[in-house]
Structures are given as C-alpha cells and as structure tokens.
Structure 1
Amino acid sequence: MAGPIRHPIDLRSLESYLNTHAPHIKTPLSAQQFGYGQSNPTYLLTSTPTGAQYVLRKKPPGQLLSKTAHQVEREYKVLKALSTAGGDVPAPKVYCLCEDAGVLGSAFYIMEYLNGRIFDDPSLPGVAAEARAAMWKSAITTLAKLHAVDPAANEGLRSFGRPNGFYGRQIKTLSTIEAAQAATRDVKTGKEVGKVPRFEEMMKFFSTTQPKDRSAVIHGDYKIDNLVFHPTEPYVIGILDWELSTIGHPLSDLANLLLPWQLLLPTAAGVSVMNGDIRCFLPDATPGLPTREEAISWYAEASGWKVKRSEMLWGDAFGFVRNAIIMQGIGARVARGQASSAKAEGYGSRVPAFAACAWRCIEMSEEERVKEERAGAKL
C-alpha cells in the first residue's frame, strides 16, 4: 500500500535527526508514502543497512485550518502509554516524537511497522466465511478491551481528557471546525467549500437530547481500515490512526465501527453515500459477516454494556454528522492544496449524503425513544 511520494520529505535532515535522537534506527533510509492517511501524510521507511521498516506520521505542510486536527503529538502520547502499559490493547510501539518543524517542516513521530493485513473494505474480501466472522468479532472485542482501560491507572493517560460531558464538548468543537471549513476558499476558483446541510438544526437536537453520559478511553476513529490483522490468523494485531483519541463516550467508537450497516439507509433526499471508496454491505450477501444486531450483542457481552436501540441510532446520527464534517474537511484541504491522500478528490461532494443519513437516524432515534418510554411505562 506504499508507493510514490506525493509530499516530499528531507531524508538527509531526518537521518541527521535520527542519528542523534533514535540511533537504533540505522541510516541511510529509503521512503515511500502510503496511499491512505487522509489527515496526516504517512510514510514507510526502510533502513538500507538492516532492512528494518518503520512508519513515519507527520502533520501536513503549510498553515493548518484547525488546531484540534492533525495531532500527531497526541497519537504518539496514547500509543506510548498503551504500548508500555502491558495491557491487552494491541498498540504499535513508538520510537520518537519530533516537534521541531525545522527537521521535516512539521511535527512527526516514528512507530513500529506491523506486518499484517489492512482492509479498506469492511466486508473483508478474499477471506473465508469462518475467518470473516472471527475477524469482525476480534474487531469488536478489541474495542471493548480499549474501553476497559482505566486512564487513572495509566500514568500516560491520567491527563488525557475530561471524564464527563464528551458529546457536549464534541458539539462545540465540531461547530467551530465546520464553520472554519465551510468558509475555506478554493485557491484556484475562490469558491467557498460551503456548510454541512441542516447543521445548526442537528446540533440543536444533539445538544438537547443525549444518551446517558459514559466515560472511557476512546480511539476516535475506530473502523476496519484502521485495524491491522495478523498476516494469516483472524485477529487484530494493531490499531492505527489515534489522532482523535481522548477520554469520551464509548458509543462514539461503536457507532463508527458499525457505520457500514447504516450506509444504505433510505433518506427523504434520495441520496446515497455508497460510491467511490465509501463502502457498505448487506451482511446476508456476504457469508460470515455478522448482522448489526449480532455485532452489538458481541460488544455488550465483552463490555457489559447493553446499548439501547435509541442510543445506538443517536450515536449513528452523530457519527454521520461527524463524517460529513470529515468529508468537508478533506474537501477544504483539497481546496487549499493540502490533501494528504491520493484519493482525496471528490470526497467533498459526499457531504450532503452523510448529512441526509444523519437526519434520518435522528428521526429513527426519536421514534425508538418514544417506544422505549412507552414500554417502560407499562412495566
């Protein structure tokens, strides 16, 4: 998955830095850039003397739209805390963090290269049905293990985030990011990126109707293509892309992982997010894929938390809005000439579809909440 370099890096400067700060990484190095990594350019480094391989993650070049995005320093912090704690969460080892922009133009860190399988399609093509089911269950139970981590017992995570009010903080943060991205102008045409449809209306709903507050170490973008599976066995050996990790509501991660089941939701606008690299699936059409209900039950068994249907749909709705803002952000980076991924073009056009799906989940969540309240009143 690594190939030509789209964002050049100064290998001589990097090698000089490593010779002083991480001498166990033997230089000289060769470099390739991974095709994934929408937010932060990601490179495969190979040591010429030893053949050992490493992964470098750095912030994009130039002035950034948001101070809350591209936090490679945060990725390094959580990975270091998890990999040195001796727990069950499969986190790659990290070797160094450089915050001196004079070395490569922006902050970066280097971590272990995991020799495994990464799937950009959550239906896990090319995998036998039995293995496919086991891999999805491993993804679910690995998430439950992460949510079971006690930040108070981990020195590197004690000041990682606040234990309460996650979704309230998210609403405030996403509102700020959405406004900045919407106002971004294309460097070539001068046209604004534009707002997420019905954004203020949806933020009002999320502000006034929220699930019961919970607290856990969350990944922030937990999904199949951010997991590394063993080369031949059906289990997770590593979790990647931790820049959005914090102390937050575990529903956020669960909804993000289960998003592929919701991508075919009918909406009043008649739009679909099923195009390009946005993958969805019908479980019955792919042997071994669990149903959405089975996946939720696996999480409930592993975590001890039985998620209400109205809560799950609320989390789906918030996830769709969040993904709409992510798509908007990719579009903004394209407009500014800062896109990290070779696949970035066209993502901005998917914003209306994600917003429409968010609104449909809001409607469904409210319908389920009314049913649950009526059922509770009868008991």
Structure 2
Amino acid sequence: MQTDSLSSLVDLDALAAWMDTQCLEQGQIAQAHLLTGGTQNILLRFCRGSRDFVLRRPSRHPRPNNNDTIRREARILGALAGTGVPHPGLIAACTSEAVLGTAFYLMEPIDGFNATMGLPALHAGDPAMRREMGFAMVDAILALGRVDHVAVGLADFGKAEGYLERQVPRWRSQLETYRDLAGWPGPTDIPGIDVVADWLEVNRPRNFSPGIIHGDFHVSNVMFRYDSPNLAAIIDWELATIGDPLIDLGWMLATWPLPGQPVLENLRIEPDDGFPMIDELIARYAEGSTRDIAAIDWYVVLACYKLGIILEGTHARACAGKAPRETGDQLHALTISLFKRALSWLEKADSKFTAVAHTIPI
C-alpha cells in the first residue's frame, strides 16, 4: 500500500507521539505495512527503535460499536497475560479516539502461520503433525476455560446469568430481520430450521460453570507455530465474553472438516488427512476438563444453528442486491449444509426428533 494511503488509515506522527507518552521505544516509525486489507479491522506492523509492533484498530469506516469492540479486545488480551492461553501479547492500549480517530491497541507480532493459507513443509509432509494440530486447538480452549475470569478482572466482561437461555431467541430474531430485505425468499428451503430451534429450547442445559468464551473458535482464528503442531496464538477476540466455555468446543466441532462434506472456504486446509475425528476431539476435551460434556450435542447443534443464520444474512443481502449473488448462493448452500449437520447431531442425541429429521434429506 502506498504511504499516502497508509497514512489515511493511521497517522504515524500521532502514533509516535502517543507512544512517547507510554515510553515505548524512541525514534521514527519504520517499515510500516498493513497485514490486512482494512475492510474489517486494520492490522499495521511496524518497527520503532529495536522493537516490532502490531497495531489493531477498526476499519476505515467503523461501525458504531467498533471502538468498544477494540477496547474489549485490549482488555481481554491484557487479562490473559500469564495464564497459559496462547494469545497475542498486549503491549499498550489507547481507549481514547482522540489520537487516531479510533480506539486502538499495540500487540506483539505473532510468529506463526494460519493453516488455511497453506501449511509449511514440516506440517504439510506429516499427517501425524496435523493430528496434533487438532489436539492443540482443543488444548487451547481447555486452557481458556480454566482461567478464573473473576480473578483476572473480567467479572463484568459479560452477563453469564441467562446466557444459554438467550441464544435461540437472539438468533431467531436475527433471522426474522432478513425479511426486511427485498427479494429474500425466506428460510423455506433451510432444512429443519424450526425443528432445530425447538429442540435447542427443549434440551437446553440447565446449568454450566461460567468462564471466558472466545466466541468464534475455528481453524481460521488460530495461528500455529512453525516448529511444532502447537498454537502460537488464538486471534480475533472481538466476540469474546463471559458465558459457557463449552460454546467454543461446540463451535470448533460444528466447523470441523468432515470427509465428503462441504466446508467453508476459509476453513479449508490442504492436505486434509491426518486431522483427528470429532469423537477424538471430544475425548481430548473430556480428559482435560472437569466440565460435564454429556450435552455436547446441544452445543454443536447450537453452533450450526447460529452460524447458519449468520451466513444466511449474506444470502439475504445478496437477494436484495447488497452483496455479490455468487457469494450469497455459496453461503446459502453452506447454511443448508450446516442445518443438515445439525439435524444429524440432533437425531443422534434425541430419538424423539428422529421421525422429523428423516423427512429431510441428510
């Protein structure tokens, strides 16, 4: 990106002046370059003095809540320091919008790779290495679930009370908002959309042990170490809150690639052999946690339901001419696939819905 375009996203002189107030190295900011295109959050890597930094701030045209999201991200990254959870190390945060026009924070660069962007030779050449990568992801959410959120200062970071009760009504309401988009035909061809919601309400776990939730835990939101199958960091903490940590396991399982089934393009890994099967991932979690996973089917079904409705939003916008039609059609197909997957989990978990599920092709 050209320097003048970069400067329109981040005022480097203002950033340097603020860093002076934080005693963060000295001298000119050098080697500044964007790590993302800036359509979502902006990630800028640069060097000052003898140290490398990564700046994270909202996009060029932030939505109303984006600054609060950045503040929350900085807060949770600071709280996780020293916990054993792999995460980007927080250096400093600016909660004010006066310096750069938005809130922002500085973090340590991550020495790792995103597996969906390609595997290095060490990992690409060894199925056993890929198997351990899957288990490393489970170990990361186990570590996160063990953090005492009250002890690390996050007692008010989210509302745990009623967390599970709010899930289905929240996403049912989200689906209804799509009716305002002209051209959307409705959810008529999404298999079992009411069956799944009703089952979730009837079978909702009554109790859970509150903890920190990442909220969007899948293979595209982790970075692996170059020298081992272990995680270098869990990234993109904008959906983090306090609730039921089994949500993260359910989300991982709902998005885990299955042989012969469609997968979200940004979750695809090649080569894809060697990775653990879902039952093995569940067993790994059970070995490392005191949480009751007897209702894990419920968490996977919820994740399929929620993600399917999120993806259907793009399809609805595409029908209204507000998103590319090809993208909308692709995501609609994935929504259908997710609901089929939900029905297969639902059928396994509760035989009273078997007859309904069998009327819909899986």
The residue that corresponds to 1:54 in the other structure is 53
Question: How many Å separate the matches in 1 of 2:17 and 2:199?
Answer: 49
**Conserved 8 A contact 1:93-1:111:** yes
Quick one: distance in 1 between partners of 2:316 and 2:54?
Answer: 26
- Equivalent residues of 1:316, 1:361 under 8 A apart: no
Q: Secondary structure at the match of 1:159?
A: coil
Is structure 2 residue 184 aligned with structure 1 residue 165?
Answer: no
Q: Of 103, 113, 134, which aligns to 1:107?
A: 103
CA apart distance, 1:135: 2.3
Please list, as runs of the form range in 1=range in 2, the aligned pairs for 1:178-257 lying within 5 A after superposition.
Answer: 178=175, 183=180, 202-214=196-208, 215-257=210-252
Task: Indicate if the aligned counterparts of 1:152 and 1:158 stay in contact, CA closer than 8 A.
Answer: yes
TM superposition shift of 1:303: 1.1
CA distance in 1, matches of 2:183, 2:287: 47
Counterparts of 1:16-35 in structure 2, within 5 Å, are 16-26=16-26, 27-35=28-36
Distance in 2, Cα, partners of 1:345 & 1:7 = 34
Q: Deviation at 1:112? A: 1.1
Task: In structure 1, give the amino acid aligned to 2:100.
Answer: L
Letter of the 1:106 partner, please give it: T
What's 1:268 paired with? none
Q: Residue by residue, what CA displacement relative to the aligned partner does 1:74-131 show, whole Å, maximum 9, x if unpaired? A: 1111110111xx3221232212323333433332222111112221269886252232
Amino acid at match of 1:9: L
Query: Shift of residue 235 of structure 1?
Result: 1.3
What amino acid does structure 1 have at the position aligned with 2:43?
Y
Where structure 1 has 5 or more consecutive residues not aligned to the other structure, the ranges are 185-190, 266-271, 374-379
Q: Does structure 1 residue 303 correspond to structure 2 residue 304?
A: no
Structure 2 CA distance for aligned equivalents of residues 205 and 7 of structure 1: 51
Separation in 2 of the partners of 1:151 and 1:327?
31
Extract unaligned runs of 5+ from structure 2: 354-362
* 2:337 aligns with one of 357, 369, 372: 357
- Distance 1:364-1:333 versus aligned 2 partners, 3 A rule: closer
Check conservation: 1:21, 1:96, Cα contact below 8 A. Answer: no
Aligned sequence identity (%): 23
Q: For 1:369 and 1:23, how far apart are their aligned partners in 2?
A: 56
The residue identity in structure 1 corresponding to 2:348 is E
Q: How far apart, in 2, do the equivalents of 1:70 and 1:181 lie? A: 25
State how far apart, in whole Å, the 2-side matches of 1:123 and 1:371 are.
41
What is the 5 A alignment of 1:1-379? 8-26=8-26, 27-35=28-36, 40-47=40-47, 49-50=49-50, 52-62=51-61, 64=63, 67=65, 71-83=69-81, 86-120=82-116, 126-154=124-152, 156-175=153-172, 177-178=174-175, 183=180, 202-214=196-208, 215-261=210-256, 273-274=262-263, 276-279=265-268, 286=273, 288-305=274-291, 307-308=293-294, 311-327=295-311, 347-371=327-351
Are the structure 2 counterparts of residues 254 and 16 from structure 1 closer, same or farther at C-alpha, using a change threshold of 3 Å?
Answer: same
Select the structure with the greater relative contact order (CA < 8 A; seq sep ≥ 6). Answer: 1
Q: Which residue of 1 aligns with 2:360?
A: none
Deviations 1:209-252 (A, max 9, x none): 31343222111111222222223122123221111111122222
State the secondary structure of the residue aligned to 1:110.
Answer: strand
Aligned partners of 1:182 and 1:193 also within 8 Å: yes
Q: Contact between 1:320 and 1:354, CA under 8 Å: does it hold in 2?
A: no
Question: In 1, are the aligned partners of 2:94 and 2:103 still within 8 Å (CA)?
Answer: yes
Alpha-carbon distance change, 114 to 123 in structure 1, aligned in 2, over 3 angstroms: closer
Query: For residues 99 and 202 of structure 2, what CA distance do their matches in structure 1 show?
Result: 46
In the aligned structure 2, how far is the partner of 1:6 from the partner of 1:350?
33
Name the aligned partner's letter for residue 78 of structure 2. Answer: K
